[in-house]
Amino acid sequence: MMNDGDRAREEFFSEAQEIVEGLGRDLLALDEGQKSGHIDPDLIKEVFRAVHTIKGLAGLFGATRMATLSHDLESMLDDLRLGKIDLTPNVLDVLFASVQLYGRILQAEKEGRDQPMPEFDKLIAQLNRDSAQHGVTSGGPMIDPSLLAVLTEFEEHRLRTNISQGNTLYWLRVRFQVATIDQGLEELKATAKPHGEIITYLPAGVGDDIDFLGLDILMASRATSETLRAALAHLSVEVEELPRVSGSAAAPVSMPPPQAHVPPTPAPPPVSASASRPTPIPPVHVPHVDLDLTGAHLPYAPRIEPRIEIMPPGIQSAKAQELGTIKSVAQTVRVDIQKLDDLMTYVGELSIVRTELEQEIAKMRDGQASREDRSKLRRLQRDFLRNVDKLRDGILKVRMVPLSQVFDKLQRIARQISREAGKQVNPVITGKETEVDKLTIEELSDPLMHMMRNAIDHGIELPKDREAANKPVVGTIAINAFQKGNHVVIEIEDDGQGIDTDRLLEKAIAKGVVTQEEARTMSRREILNLIFVPGLSTKATVSEISGRGVGMDVVKTNISKLGGVIDVQSEPGINTKFTVTLPITQAIINALIVKVADQQFAIPLANVQDVGQLDSESVRIIDGREAVTWRGSATLQLCNLARLFGLAKPQEPDANAGAFDAPSLSSPEFSTPRLPPLRSDSLRHDATSAFPYRPARNSPVPIQSSSGRRKKRNYVVVISIGARRLGLVVDHLVRPQNVVIKGLGPSLKNVAGFTGATQLADQRIALVLDAASLIEEMFAHKGAALAHGGPHGF
């Protein structure tokens, strides 16, 4: 249960996160504008508003650092939007740094950590250095006070700027139906934008018809009134040109004439008691209560000197902190109402099915069921299943968010890293609209960021080296995303120097990952895959940027956790391309339910390569590990789950209870996700009590049944990640089934081998096995290979 405070806080994180992300996007656009010399004032306004909102939020929720940063930024942006300072690359740097810092502060707030942030202190100090007072513009053209009265300071500034640039002012008059005003307005904005700048919107008095609204729009444009009229003709906009004003010329910029359908309105009331109100109430100014002790609300307040704090050991090292994260802290997804409407529809249909089912069941109880009723029941069951499927797919859709959420951040980071590294990089992104599950996006953010870092640091060469190699000075990093069946593919490709396979192999031999012998027979692809082995980075020196303790091995592990695979291709001197393939959603997966001892486990089918019976007599011990020759050829290492998990032997020696014959993976039962009818025998109540307490741990389970009466048949489920395979020995196969995965809480985060749990019928829970970590664990010993398994591509 969330209380109001939690909810408001959750809302705070969600909104702050969203604003910060939008801010990043706007900055990228500003950066473009700054380079091309056309800075869109609307963007500056957007950025100012965003920071302004964050400041307000931070003040509300007591996020002091955020408030301080926003306050100082706001002062700078205020000067920027009012034209007191120019948008220089330096200013942009500060803005980009701020966006990153916001992300970190949010992360720290969310986790309730209060740690020193040297980068925060640095940026604040810099902002305060930069905030020298600037001269305030004054004078300029005369503006009708009644118009001035409704302009915000910024709008006034924009108006004056446009006048001083010699642009013509127009009043655009338009009438909208209140219900559809948003669409109408968007269309108008899009049409008008290429011709100039909209300064402000004045809603004109409604007449008797409250469903319509008149708008007077003040616009500044270089275009002639004919051009503007023609452009806006299809939107039935009246265009009226204002007489030109120059300097403090005679004709002031004035209010539009009253709209025809509105009786003339009295002038706005003067400052004192207003005649238009029956009871004069003096305006009150409520003193603002200062909540913040840093002086954040006092412009240019003296700042407390940054304290130097010594980090206690064991707390995050400064380095780890620097590593940063671009994970989002928001736990919410904003949903298109249409998607929810669809869900409601399915629920509605299900309710109807339910009612009819009840009637049918009542008939059966009374013994009046006819043949007709039976076919009706079958129809109801079909309807029911169809709607449950739709509901499931609909809910999955709701969880989907576009990859742009991560890609925008990547673009920002690319800019920053390349500047730090003194390299020139142009990130090119396609397919950012591709959608994946919200959870996947979160877990994907950091691995992608590290890949981006690697591409810039190890891939793209310094400008002088590129020139020497006859390459364009500006390197390209292409990030492409597209959907492929039930998977999303993300490619990160750079046109840099490629991976030096000779050096990689050298290192691998030096570290004992592969033998000289194996090295001779390895294909190029196998060598390239060594990049995913811990500790095999190609750079001898740890660079400022990538040398942050995160190698490709970690990236690979994280991607495997998402049920994904990563592959690498590279041509020396030409390119390096990493390809990540991920299932679209983590929330519902197809899994194979198995039984080990009396406990059920779920193995994600995405990781299952093969299933078969195990003849316990064929198990050999190789290198101290159990293995079998699988399907007559390859050696397969086994992992006896009962022993690994210390589970007691199943009580009954009946090996086939609840099991079906090992299915071939191509059978429709595996390929199409559908729920086979429940088998009563697989859901038998265990004889154990409600709290099966097992003090006996690690009691070894002999491979062969000691009774010797009958050979015990076990099953092997072969799981694979990349080129590694492992045979999980289980007692029974129960059924393939769609399961909804739920994460395990923080209390269990140290337990290896499980990605989560899922609820089966009858309140029972099956733990979902983490194929990646089990393989990791079983291969974790020396050499990571079986005696004659050949080089493993990892």
Partner 1 sequence: MPMMPAAGAAKRGKNHDRGPLTKYLAFRLADDIYGAPLSLIREILERKPLTPVPRAHPSIMGIISNRGQLITVIDLRRRLHLAERPETNKARILTTNPMGIELLGLYVDEVLQTYDLADNEIEPTTTAFGGEVAGYISGIVRPASVEGPSANRVGKRVAAAKQVARVIILLDLKIILAT
Partner 2 sequence: MARILVVEDSSAFRAFIRAALEGSPELFDAAAEDVEVVEASSGFDALRLLPRGHFDLVITDINMPDINGLELVRFMRENERYRTVCTILISTQSSEKDRARGLALGANAFLGKPFTVEALHQAITASIGPSKVDCSKAQSMASSEGSQ
Residue 726 beta carbon to partner 1: minimum distance, rounded to whole angstroms: 17
Token digits of residue 238: 């009246």
Please spell the DSSP secondary structure of 308-338, one letter per residue: P-PPPTTS--HHHHHH-------------HH
Quick one: what does residue 7 bind among partner 1, partner 2, none, with the CB cut-off 5 to 8 Å set by partner type? partner 2
Under DSSP, is residue 200 helix (H, G, I), strand (E, B) or coil?
strand
| Interacting residue with partner 1 among 766, 771, 774, 778 (CB under 8 A) | 766
Q: Does 616 bind partner 2 (CB under 8 A)?
A: no
Residue 496 to residues 450, 463, 544, Cα–Cα distance (Å) = 16, 11, 18
Q: Segment contacting partner 1 (CB under 8 A): 93-101, 200-208, 723-731, 739-747?
A: 739-747
How far apart are alpha carbons 629 and 636 in whole angstroms? 6
Token digits of residue 74: 């706001």
Residue 426 to residues 87, 179, 412, 416, 422, Cα–Cα distance (Å) = 21, 44, 11, 12, 13
Q: Which residue lies nearer to partner 2 by CB, 185 or 474?
A: 185
Q: Does 210 bind partner 2 (CB under 8 A)?
A: yes
Q: Does 29 bind partner 1 (CB under 8 A)?
A: no
User: 661-694 as b/e, with b when 16 or more CB fall inside 10 Å?
Assistant: eeeebeeebbeebeeeeeeeebeeeeeeeeeeee
| Interacting residue with partner 2 among 57, 410, 605, 719 (CB under 8 A) | 57
Token digits of residue 84: 């007191």
Please spell the DSSP secondary structure of 223-244, one letter per residue: S-HHHHHHHHGGGT-EEEEPPP
Query: 565-571 and 575-583: which strand pairing?
Result: antiparallel
| Interacting residue with partner 2 among 190, 250, 286, 780 (CB under 8 A) | 286
Residue ranges in 668-697 that form contacts with partner 1 under rule CB under 8 A: 689-694, 697
Residue 41 beta carbon to partner 2: minimum distance, rounded to whole angstroms: 13
Q: What is the biggest distance separating any 2 CA atoms in the chain, rounded to whole angstroms?
A: 112
- Provide the 10 A C-beta neighbour count for residue 568: 17
Q: Which residue lies nearer to partner 2 by CB, 201 or 578?
A: 201
| Interacting residue with partner 2 among 118, 166, 299, 676 (CB under 8 A) | 299
The DSSP element (H or E) to which 31 belongs, if any, is helix 4-36
Q: Does 257 bind partner 2 (CB under 8 A)?
A: no
Quick one: what does residue 182 bind among partner 1, partner 2, none, with the CB cut-off 5 to 8 Å set by partner type? partner 2
Residue 216 beta carbon to partner 2: minimum distance, rounded to whole angstroms: 10
Q: Does 12 bind partner 2 (CB under 8 A)?
A: yes
- Provide the 10 A C-beta neighbour count for residue 421: 18
Q: What are the φ and ψ backbone dihedral angles of 541, each rounded to 5 degrees?
A: -90, 140
| CA Rg value for the chain | 33
Token digits of residue 782: 């020396």
Q: Segment contacting partner 1 (CB under 8 A): 542-550, 613-621, 622-630, 640-648?
A: 640-648
Q: Does 149 bind partner 2 (CB under 8 A)?
A: yes
Q: Does 8 bind partner 2 (CB under 8 A)?
A: yes
Q: Which residue lies nearer to partner 1 by CB, 632 or 746?
A: 746
Residue 48 beta carbon to partner 2: minimum distance, rounded to whole angstroms: 8
Residue 332 beta carbon to partner 1: minimum distance, rounded to whole angstroms: 18
Quick one: what does residue 347 bind among partner 2, partner 1, none, with the CB cut-off 5 to 8 Å set by partner type? none
- Positions in the binding site for partner 1 (CB under 8 A): 1, 599, 644-647, 689-694, 697, 742, 744-748, 750-754, 757, 759, 762-767
- Positions in the binding site for partner 2 (CB under 8 A): 4, 7-8, 11-12, 15-16, 49, 52-53, 55-61, 67, 74-75, 78, 148-156, 178-179, 181-182, 185, 200-206, 210-211, 213, 265-266, 268-271, 274, 276-279, 281, 283-289, 291, 297, 299
